[in-house]
């Protein structure tokens, strides 16, 4: 793994985090407890800060970045950022699933209890309503989330990644 201090800022990690051997974490990054950063994931806090809550998994090939002196990236608790997703200069609140290959651009806010579908592109400044699913390019609301889907996908995946990470320790 590459964990690199840059411009006097060194990444900070909570308890019980798993970081894959080839993950890259640079600069002003603060991560909570029970997080997992998977293979080829990049979290680059070089141009602004990145704050990550508890029980967050950032899966293989995902990229987390920010915008120079303008848009930090804030990620809440119980968030899954799936394979090859890009999260850039935005706010992701609690209990969110960002699907595989999705892109979340600057100034977006993904409110709690939401799903961004695989391959979706949230264009600059999109506000995702709590309790909804957004899909498409550009992403739009396609439906409200059911309680079953919220527990069956968002919570299930976040819990599963804590289990998966335990296999590597």
Under 8 Å between Cβ of 28 and 47: no
Where helices occur in the chain by DSSP H, the ranges are 147-149, 156-167
Whole-prediction pTM value? 0.95
d(CA 28, CA 12): 8
CA–CA separation, 73 and 89 (whole Å):
5
- Judge whether 86 and 63 are in contact, CB under 8 Å: yes
Report pLDDT digits (tens) over 28-69: 999 999 999 999 999 999 999 999 999 999 999 999 999 999
Q: What is the pLDDT of residues 103-130, one digit of tens each?
A: 999 999 999 999 999 999 999 999 999 9
Q: For the chain, what is the domain count?
A: 1
Integer CA distances (angstroms), 143 to 36, 123, 140, in order: 29, 18, 9
Domain hosting 77: range is 2-167
The CATH number given to whatever domain includes residue 133 is 2.160.10.10
CB neighbour list of residue 23: distance below 8 Å, 6 or more residues apart: 1, 2, 37, 38, 39, 40, 41, 42, 43
């Amino acid at each position: 793994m590459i964990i690199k201090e840059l411009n006097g800022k060194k990444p900070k990690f909570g308890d019980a985090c798993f970081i894959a051997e080839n993950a890259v974490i640079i600069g002003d990054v603060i991560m909570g407890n029970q997080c997992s950063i998977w293979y080829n994931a990049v979290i680059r806090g070089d141009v602004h800060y990145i704050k990550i809550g508890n029980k967050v998994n950032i899966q293989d090939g995902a990229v987390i970045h920010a915008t120079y002196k303008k848009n930090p990236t804030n990620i809440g608790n119980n968030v899954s950022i799936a394979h090859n997703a890009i999260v850039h200069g935005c706010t992701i609140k609690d209990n969110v699933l960002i699907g595989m290959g999705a892109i979340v651009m600057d100034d977006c806010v993904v409110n709690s209890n939401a799903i961004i579908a695989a391959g979706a592109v949230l264009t600059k400044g999109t506000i995702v309503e709590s309790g909804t699913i957004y899909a498409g390019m550009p992403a739009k609301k396609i439906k409200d989330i059911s309680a079953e889907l919220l527990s069956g996908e968002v919570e299930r995946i976040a819990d599963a990644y804590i289990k998966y990470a335990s296999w590597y320790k």
